[in-house]
Structure 1
């Protein structure tokens, strides 16, 4: 058994550590993994194509991402930050709390791919959160900026994770249903989805509290 294909994982780690373009890192790592696994370049590209054809929603992401990249190049992040700086009442916690609610609601409706780290967090949410921090507390240091960006990413993860299970036609619901059947519990997807609602509400309250506490922490840091 060859362990060389695992080099692709190392490339992903190094690429993210060096803050390189995420899409470029993942694509190159996938190609390297395929080549080291004994596939020729033509077969690697064909495998990409088959995956896109079998999962057509991925093709939509590939269509949208170049648009997002072009918008970033021509000042999307700067414009998003400028909008927030004009809103005197905007804070990091309030902004991310609003995004958390929107992310949970859209995920609960099955719209899991309309937001995410490459689509919204990196080009919009994180720059807006940083602008809100600077609006309220002045220029922030690197550690605080990284904290705000990490919290923005975590908010997206939490909103998606606890929101998508409310949608009955999601893979996780099917997995839970099939697992419970093996233990003699035959529950419908709707039943499981309804039980996901209290978890989503609890996640919103708990993480929302953390976001509001972050505002207070940032305020104490600047004093």
Structure 2
């Protein structure tokens, strides 16, 4: 029962709002040491248990070291933003007269859904595309037409930028035959006695993707209409004064 002390360490750590990584490591060490402890255990046995637990940490890190590669991507994005990536994106789209928030997001939605249908699901995403590029470009298109944005409309634009990425990926990836979602659907149907081929699932995902494209295009058109109604009237009133 002593090995359950690790659970107590986790609960105590989260109650104290300690660093989650340190809490998990402390819980693992506690569990490893508790598993080796007996009334007859001496210092050498406890020391060996500690080394074994640390060796398990090292092996897990070495076997899964590719996971840490994502931090290099985040560092690169952070450096680009520090160098003015978002400002450049705003300036670029502000020079396009025909650009509106809805049109910018529609183009990204179309690219995201088309790329996902070809299996390129990594070509996009919130940290690498929406935050540093898509959302600032959409905000820049609005600022070029309506001036400084109120916080409510700014956050509305950002939420629609995130939605364009989510919906484009969700309804586009099922068209690609070799995707995890297709295999998951196939396995669940087979468990219930329904035998289908992945190609059939992929083909029947196309009408859903087209419907998603049409519905989201309407939502983006309504977004443009909403921003025009909310932001253009105050601008005209200020110009009249």
SS of alignment partner, residue 98 of structure 2: coil
Q: Look up the match of 2:64.
A: 51
In the alignment, structure 2 segments of 5+ residues that lack a partner are 30-52, 234-241
The answer on 1:207 being equivalent to 2:197 is no
Q: C-alpha distance in 2, partners of 1:178/1:6? A: 40
Distance of 2:55 and 2:129 partners within structure 1: 33
Larger RCO of the pair (alpha carbons < 8 Å, separation 6+): 1
Q: How do residues 1-223 of structure 1 correspond to structure 2 at under 5 angstroms?
A: 2=7, 4=10, 31-32=21-22, 34-35=24-25, 37-38=27-28, 47-53=60-66, 61-222=70-231, 223=233
Decide which structure has the larger Cα Rg and report it.
2
Report how far residue 61 of structure 1 moved: 4.2
Q: Is the 8 A contact 1:34 1:44 kept in 2?
A: no
Q: CA 1:66–1:180 in 2, change beyond 3 Å: closer, same or farther?
A: same
Number of aligned residue pairs = 200
Shift in Å at residue 43 of structure 1? Answer: 5.5
Question: Distance between the aligned counterparts of 1:102 and 1:145, measured in 2?
Answer: 23
Alignment partner of 2:142: what SS? helix
Distance 1:111 1:217, change over 3 A: same
Q: CA deviation at 1:92?
A: 0.4
Q: How much is the aligned-residue C-alpha RMSD, in angstroms? A: 2.6
Q: TM-score, normalising length from structure 1?
A: 0.80
Is the Cα contact below 8 Å between 2:77 and 2:132 reproduced in 1?
yes
1:7 & 1:118 partners in 2: Cα distance? 29
Structure 2 CA distance for partners of 1:208 and 1:184, relative to 1, 3 Å: same
* Structure 1 residue runs without a partner (length 5+): 12-27
In structure 2, the residue corresponding to 1:165 is in which secondary structure? helix
Deviation at 1:122, TM superposition (A): 0.4
TM-score of the superposed pair, with normalisation by structure 2: 0.74
